Each structure stands twice: as structure tokens, then as C-alpha cells.
Amino acid sequence: MNCLSQLSLNQRAWQLLAVSALCFELIALYFQYFMGLEPCIMCIYQRTAVWGIFLAGVIGAFGCQNVVMRIVAFALWATGAIWGFIIALEHVDMQSTTLSFLFSCEFEPNFPTWAPLHQWLPALFEATGDCGDIMWQFLGFSMPQVMLVIFGVYSAVFAIVLLARLLKEKMV
């Protein structure tokens, strides 16, 4: 338990979080630009959640010894992991329902007016695909189903590390 509670103070652990998220982003860009899979609005929201996890890892790596920075990193990690899980779950529902023709996704992301990521970085955040299309599968699982597992793992690891840290602080 002590080892788990110390992870949030370890720069390498935060770097691993950032690198893992960056790898998923690079894989997404490979799928988009080399395999020709166009991202839909739900894919873009999931991509944004992964960028949040990446940012959490970067902030945690630089500020793991500072309580405020660690709290910000934990908040970003939780937001990215949980929000990404919810979006992936909605995306799976869109694709798995027999009434998928009733679901339509927006064409433009609903980012805040103060951060229109799809205008600033269209190569990363512009949605060009359809949410209902299943254009790729791995072992019979669609992209949103795979992302559901990824975000589930990020969420579970977040909960374990945070719980271990809180229990450690309570014992001290």
C-alpha cells in the first residue's frame, strides 16, 4: 500500500501517464491520417479526454512535489478518464442500438467559446466522420469499445492511486 501511495509523488509515474496518453494520441492520428479513418464528434471528444490525461501527466511530472500541482493533475486525470469513459459508453450505445439511424452526431465540436480547439488545431480536433459507422475492429471490438476499456483502466488506476494516497495521509 505504501508503494501505491508514493506513486503520486514519483515523477516517473506521472511521466508514464503522460507517455501512455501520448501514445494513444499518436495511434489515433495514425488511424486518421494513414489508415483513412475519419474521426466523428464522439471520437474528437474522446481524443480531448486523452489530451486531458496527457496534460495531467505533464503537470504531475513537473509538480509532483507540490500539493497544489498534484491536486490539479489528479483533477485533470479524473476528468479525462471519467469523462472519456462516459463519452465512449455513449458512443458504444450509438453504434450498438438497432435504431442507430435515430442517432446523429453534431458536425462541429461543442467546445467552449474561449477554447475552440477545432478552429485552433483542426488537424487534431476537426470531426469529419459519422458516429454510427464502424470502420475498424480489433478482435471483434469497435473503436469506442476499445476506448471504453482504455478509459476504464485509466479510471481504475486513478481511483487506486488516489485512494492509496488518501489512506496514507489519513494514517499520518
Catalytic positions, please?
Answer: 40, 43, 47, 105, 131
Assess contact for 44 and 125: CB atoms under 8 A. yes
Assess contact for 129 and 43: CB atoms under 8 A. yes
For residue 70, CA distances in Å to 22, 74, 121 come to: 20, 6, 28
Greatest Cα pair distance in the chain: 56
DSSP code per residue over 117-146: HHHH-HHHH---S-TT----EETTEEHHHH
Which DSSP symbol is given to 36? -
Assess contact for 15 and 64: CB atoms under 8 A. no
Within 10 angstroms of residue 93's Cβ, the number of other Cβ atoms is: 12
CA 19/CA 61 separation, integer angstroms: 11
